[in-house]
Structure 1
């Protein structure tokens, strides 16, 4: 039986969490291993920021457990030793679903390192079942390659994703759009999938939606936009805005769109860094928002201001968004929420 058959569904990220999971970076798999200490400090900042709001479990390779444990004095940060290849738990961790009685289960997707980009990935593919077993959580094994960063839900039957990622032949080449959509509906208990076209320019995940758009509430979407016609993101965001304007959600609502201006274009070693305010993360009572400083000071301010206006009851906690971005992601990419059990 599928989660849908048993009345499980994926809650929106803003619902109450029992804890957040985050994986610690593995030097051997890093794009820039000489930056390990700087990246580790960036991860520590994110863990400590989240721990101000809710418990955090840090997934650490056994060889790193002692040095990672020594970084944290917070009582609600614990260490779980599991061998892994890379540090983006959003994408290789389980997606948590909740039943009508409040019981939590986990969807175990297949993981192939963003279309086979970074070998090996066998340890990462094995992490989700280990986590679920450790916490005694029911597991549903899904037959498709899927990353958590490639989808957002509104908790009322609507899922947001991109064609660039989910229809990429490096993920599920033998499945049609309709078949992929059907699996999402069965495992997450959604009834409507809204397909954006592409994600941000330079995003090596092949356009994860969590860098460009997310739900703020049922019927409300936040999107990072670009106003410079010379920037590749201009055409991308115009197309996606048009699709959102034409879409209706699972409840038949038209969508309100909150626009956040993108940070200034930033490169490292001639490659564009995928700077995104949309890679923020909902925590209990707050939002952890990456900001970028320097030339981005004004857009940082505008993003924080817009999110505070959209979520007046939440505390906006900023972190240094430049600390880990060279490794390919940011706050949302590193984290995965476990829904509170009732």
Structure 2
């Protein structure tokens, strides 16, 4: 992939003497804590989404409507798509003009943090489009880099600029001091090549208020995000995680799942608890069909999407809202089984399945296009 030079891809140290969020008492709540709202972005990029993003837009509408059953939903839209989005989305979903390069709010949006005194703030990570000039998924990413600053001004909250290239999908926390991530992503030289594991752990602790980090070796097979943990494993409650699981030992995903299981079985969280692991079946394997690869602009500056390419489908890529779980429907062979497991894991919430293949064709899924704003 060829790119022209653009923004720097490495972060800088905080100003000397400037306190970090952790030093001020802020920390990141778990996704299963109560939300005030959910933030999303509107898909329109023609080299990511086929046929002018019309099929993907319908899937995004379905996700927004499902989440809006239990919390306020904001959808950020580029000016040229504002009227279209406003007409497609129900009136109770808030449409705001918020320009972006693509629609992955989990990764380009803020990581919200809270303070015991009731304050809300955010972490503004460095963003380099999942790999920078040589390995990133698209170019440019200038609008994406401004999203966090804009949301902080819209909400009137403090924004902490972190000295770390990181996307929101690369981390999950339990809200009690534990963070889970993958070596494949955060130790990838296309993110923070000048930083050691210890340095990365230090900044995660300082900006998210965590004290214990669990490192899984790899993310899902052929995940173009370089192994985001939110496609493989997530916290569903203190001491409990959901893990995607592949029974077929001939599938490369099987070894990844078993590696992760070994780490999780031998891990404890920040409170000293052993983890309870709940397996979700892997859909597929899923591949891009010939007709699904058509209608996409082919640009040298973006990740190609070709017929036969395997997609990193996972039922772990669901969203936990206040009263519903919004999960992707990806494979009729496994959809109901996955839905049943999630219903048992979240007995007080209603599980809503959304047909999500169009989102997966763009490279992610429901968790990837959402970002929770905690209630304070």
- The aligned counterpart of 1:135 is 155
Matched with 2:371 is 336
User: What TM-score does the superposition give when structure 1 sets the normalisation length?
Assistant: 0.96
**Contact preservation (8 Å) 2:49, 2:56:** no
Whole-Å Cα distance in 1 between the matches of residues 45 and 287 of structure 2? 22
Equivalences for residues 117-132 of structure 1 within 5 A: 117=136, 118-132=138-152
Of Structure 1 and Structure 2, which has the larger fraction of its residues in helix? 1
Q: Deviations over 1:114-146 (max 9, x none)?
A: 012211001101111111111101111101111
Unaligned runs of 5+ in 2: 1-18, 289-306
Could you report, residue by residue, the CA deviation over 1:59-92 in whole angstroms, capped at 9, with x for unpaired residues? 10111111111112332x1111122101101001
Give the C-alpha shift of residue 32 in structure 1.
4.1
Partners of 2:333 and 2:157 in 1: how far apart? 44
Structure 1 residue 35: deviation in Å? Answer: 5.1
Mapped partners of 2:75, 2:172: distance in 1: 23
* CA distance in 1: counterparts of 2:348 and 2:324, whole angstroms: 8
Secondary structure in 2 aligned to 1:20? strand
Counting matched residue pairs gives: 336
Name the CA distance, whole Å, in 2 between partners of 1:272 and 1:72.
31
Alignment correspondent of 1:214: 234
Residue 31 of structure 2 corresponds to: 13
Match of 2:78 in 1: 61
How big is the shift at 1:323? 2.4
Find the partner of 2:284 among 256, 264, 279: 264
Residues 1:289 and 2:327 aligned together: yes
Partner of residue 175, structure 1: 195
Q: Secondary structure at the match of 2:185?
A: helix
Q: Write the distance in 1 (CA, Å) between the matches of 2:333 and 2:162.
A: 43
Q: Shift in Å at residue 31 of structure 1?
A: 2.4
d(CA) in 1 for partners of 2:265 and 2:89? 45
Match of 1:161 in 2: 181
| Counterpart Cα distance in 2 of 1:298 and 1:204 | 25
Identify if the C-alpha distance between structure 1 residues 225 and 35 changes in structure 2 by more than 3 Å, giving closer, same or farther. Answer: farther
Q: Deviations over 1:209-240 (max 9, x none)?
A: 00010011111111001111110101111111
Which residue pairs with 2:42 in the alignment?
A: 24
Distance 1:37 1:108 in 2: 31
Structure 2: distance between partners of 1:27 and 1:203: 20
CA distance in 2, matches of 1:126, 1:151: 21
Misfit runs of 4+, over 3 Å:
none
Taking the aligned partners of 1:64 and 1:219, their CA distance within structure 2 comes to 42
The residue number in structure 2 matching 1:98 is: 114
Q: 1:32 and 1:183 mapped to 2: Cα distance?
A: 34
Distance in 1 (alpha carbons) for counterparts of 2:284 and 2:102:
28
* 1:36 counterpart SS class: helix
Q: Check conservation: 1:160, 1:195, Cα contact below 8 A.
A: yes
Instruction: Tell me if structure 1 keeps the 8 A contact 2:44–2:52.
Output: no
- Specify which of 345, 349, 362 is matched with residue 327 of structure 1: 362
For structure 1, the 5+ residue unaligned runs are: none
Are 2:35 and 2:372, in contact at CA under 8 Å, matched by a contact in 1? Answer: yes
Partner residue in 1 for 2:168: 148
Equivalent of residue 278 in structure 1, options 296, 309, 316? 316
Structure 1 distance, partners of 2:356, 2:90, is 23
Determine the structure 2 residue equivalent to 1:309. 344
TM-score, length of structure 2 as denominator length: 0.88
- Aligned alpha-carbon RMSD (Å): 1.0
Asked if 1 retains the 8 angstrom alpha-carbon contact of 2:65 and 2:90, the reply is no
Give the Cα–Cα distance (whole angstroms) in 2 for the partners of residues 156 and 74 of structure 1. Answer: 37
Q: Does 1:50 align with 2:67?
A: yes
